[in-house]
Chain A
């Protein structure tokens, strides 16, 4: 990849990574509300919540791997760091799943 493409790529990576965080966040909020409103079985509800938490996290971890192999140039490193930040943010925002009960 040329230096230019790498620069564009770094910004795109950063935006994509945090967009994934936003998707995970929204999905957590929506699934939580839907499950409580329509009284899903607790097992299903929990499974769905963990799903929308962990699937984007895994996707971000994969992205992190790719970003690591392409970490040349300042913008690429911006992309790498942003992906790492988005992964940590996703894991962190979902953490209350382990602590609070779903519908109280």
Chain B
């Protein structure tokens, strides 16, 4: 690397030029068209970059809102913003930062970096990440656009009922939040499926689980948490929107609802969310810090254990946000115990980082400065967190600016500083150029000092009793000088961020070209020309020892490793066995297409029409989504059995096998995990209302109907049995037809069951039961469509004894529909029969 003369064209800084032709041939295959064609991009480098840039724009918007907040609070009795506008501004600040900045920033980093670190050419489902991006962009634009129209959400970022329910929040403010954020969450769930499957299936040959870069573990665990963590919020939003739009009283205590149900569903998502934000940032630290400590990370296995532990434990803490609502002490005890427990994995990571620093020979370059800032601020935020965990102290400062100070120490210290370290670390990768040093240092000090002077005083105003979320305060309470200091310092911090942006612009323009692997890193994203070509690797490395980018780079560039060929116009990357990393297939990835964009527009039609109560149009949008999804799936697969093709280094593998090894099977399983979390939250809600809510049991229960129950159950059993038989029988068509018929029968029985329920708006019993019934009905519908689709696939010749992916997936889906459906049938028919006199 160092011996090569450096030229300024991108890509010129690498050790060996690729063999003539291979480079160009790969670029022709993997490139993205120009002009309007850019909208059809599916390449992970482009989509990842779009995510990151868009998230940064939303950060700027959220930051602007923060400046408005601080301008308003600078002096007492300030007439700058009125109460109504202030409510919108702080709500939007929190919402934009949490949902439109932090999570998408992590998704963008994952989409951009993951394949490069894992030695792959793209993610498992390029079109899915493009779709996720469009959903994010459109949903985010919808939410932020409401601000311009003056109808932005104004009930706080956690949208507590009854404040956010119809009587206290008329107009569409709250609906914008519920519908817009759900739209954005579609993209989060899509990204989570993408990340989990890609980490498990799409790596370089020989990269066993325990050889993955630690960052991949962080992303895997975070994405897994998102699969389980986001569905409760999506459910809560749907239920609240049903209450607001149609009067289904899930949260109205007079009619058997309970506002606490909202708090449970929100924090069931909200606490894990804190870790979903923190873990990727910690992953950045675990990746960047060893590079500058000049020593491999200490305690790799311990970190893996601790992030898995953290992921689970973080789901057992949500009630600590509800210490003040009157839950029995024993239950509080369980949650406090889990809250204390979760500190241990964090401590393990901190010790691993310190250990790495102590054993290494640290060099203090710019990214390290931000990591030091992270340590300092995050530890301080942790200490105030411990103070808040002391219940009597929490009662004292609950809902004051002390909490605002604490949460910014944790979020800005725990997320923003590591991300800025990451930005300076990976910028050479994005731009192919090195940072212009002193500007970054100046930016760091402005942000660091500005941050502390903004938020340190808020601890004091909080202790002095200044509530959060108030648009103004009276003079002479001892808060004046401290608030002014906060406000002035927040502008210092803003200048620091502006300098950061200027620095990036200058670096792109004037930075000196980055040498290959400029930091001496230990991960594969540096074993490629900078900025990266669309296909990442001219050939995919075979990983057999420690990852040394410079050692591997030459063999990669010259096409001597895996898949250093082009053939049949295929975009190829290796698929591997999840545990060992042994190649088990060649994945054939799709090229640029407008399908994701159309699909996102159809999804947007569904959400936006629902916002404006145009329900027919909304249904049309949903139908369009279904049609496009079928087209999308139909475009995959082949009508002939997969050929065995050479993959280089004397090995061969099947090209695009359509069986259980396919990433599509893993993707369906992941989606069903998210779906199961949704269902569990719904069942929890139903049980919670029965057991805890006031005004139960309901005034009216449906008369028992064993016939309907039996019919539904029989239909469900037939659905799954048919789908099961289809995999064994000589011709799958007849069993699949049985499966479809069973699903249709079950749908009829479920519809009749819903029809016999007492009024959905009179009491939460009717509403909750109807929601459960609709869930089962929807999934039977999916099973029906899947069975018919698979019959069509069989007819069209896509299925053979070795190409049975469609059958596997139909079986999985039908099985899921049957299991959840039977639980719903039991809840709808057996529970009323049991409690009826």
**A binding-site residues for B, Cβ under 8 Å:** 3-5, 7-8, 10-11, 14-15, 18-19, 21-22, 25, 28-30, 32-34, 36-37, 73-75, 77-78, 81-82, 85-86, 89, 92-97, 99-104
Contact = CB atoms under 8 A, between A and B. Distances in A.
Contacts of B331: 29, 32-33
Nearest to B328: A103
Contacts of B333: 95-97, 99-100
Contacts of B208: 4, 7, 75
Interface of B: 208-210, 300-302, 304-305, 308-309, 311-313, 315-316, 328-331, 333-334, 336-338, 340-341, 577-580, 582, 687, 691-692
Contact of A85 (B305, B316, B334, B692): B305
* Listed residue (B578, B580, B687) with the most chain A CB atoms within 10 angstroms of its CB: B580
* Listed residue (A3, A8, A86, A96) with the most chain B CB atoms within 10 angstroms of its CB: A96
Nearest to A14: B308
A101 B329 contact: yes
Nearest to B311: A18
A34 B308 contact: no
A101 B331 CA distance: 10
A47 to B, nearest CB: 15
B312 A21 contact: yes
A33 B579 contact: no
B582 A4 contact: yes
A24 B579 CA distance: 28
A14 B578 CA distance: 15
A14 B210 CA distance: 14
Nearest to B690: A37
Given A28-B334, A32-B328, A100-B333, A7 B308 contact: no
B338 A78 contact: no
B210 A89 contact: no
B38 to A, nearest CB: 39
Given A4-B582, A93-B337, A101-B330, A78 B304 contact: yes
Contact of A100 (B308, B330, B578, B692): B330
B341 A93 contact: yes
B316 A82 contact: no
Given A25-B334, A89-B309, A92-B341, 15 more contacts: A4-B580, A21-B313, A32-B331, A32-B334, A33-B691, A36-B328, A73-B210, A75-B210, A78-B301, A89-B313, A96-B330, A97-B330, A97-B333, A102-B328, A103-B328
Contacts of A36: 328
Nearest to A53: B334
Given A4-B579, A104-B329, A18 B308 contact: yes
Contact of A95 (B337, B577, B580): B337
25 contacts: A4-B208, A4-B577, A4-B582, A7-B580, A8-B580, A10-B209, A18-B309, A19-B312, A21-B313, A25-B316, A30-B687, A33-B692, A74-B301, A77-B301, A78-B301, A81-B301, A81-B302, A82-B305, A82-B309, A89-B313, A89-B338, A89-B341, A100-B329, A100-B330, A104-B328
Contacts of A3: 580
B98 to A, nearest CB: 25
B256 to A, nearest CB: 15
A48 to B, nearest CB: 13
A82 B687 CA distance: 32
B209 A96 contact: no
A49 B315 CA distance: 20
A89 B582 CA distance: 35
A7 B304 CA distance: 13
B273 to A, nearest CB: 18
Contacts of B334: 25, 28-29, 32, 93-94, 96
A5 B210 contact: no
B210 A74 contact: yes
A43 to B, nearest CB: 16
Contacts of B580: 3-4, 7-8
Nearest to B303: A78
B232 to A, nearest CB: 14
A62 to B, nearest CB: 19
A86 B310 CA distance: 11
* Listed residue (A15, A37, A89) with the most chain B CB atoms within 10 angstroms of its CB: A89
Contact of A102 (B309, B313, B330, B691): B330
Nearest to A3: B580
Nearest to A98: B333
A18 B312 contact: yes
Contacts of A22: 312, 315-316
Nearest to B344: A85
A63 to B, nearest CB: 15
A90 B402 CA distance: 33
A82 B310 CA distance: 11
A78 B304 CA distance: 7
Contacts of A4: 208, 577, 579-580, 582
Contacts of B330: 32, 96-97, 100-104
Contacts of B578: 8
A21 B334 CA distance: 12
B217 to A, nearest CB: 10
B329 A92 contact: no
Nearest to B306: A85
A7 B338 contact: no
Contacts of A7: 208-210, 579-580
Nearest to B210: A74
B666 to A, nearest CB: 14
A97 B332 CA distance: 11
Nearest to A7: B579
B308 A15 contact: yes
A23 to B, nearest CB: 11
A90 to B, nearest CB: 10
A100 to B, nearest CB: 4
Contacts of A19: 312
Contact of B579 (A8, A18, A78, A96): A8
Contacts of A73: 210
Contacts of A34: 691
A17 to B, nearest CB: 9
Contacts of B313: 21, 89
B159 to A, nearest CB: 24
Contacts of B687: 30
Nearest to B577: A4
A8 B578 CA distance: 8
B730 to A, nearest CB: 33
Contacts of B340: 92
Contacts of B301: 74, 77-78, 81
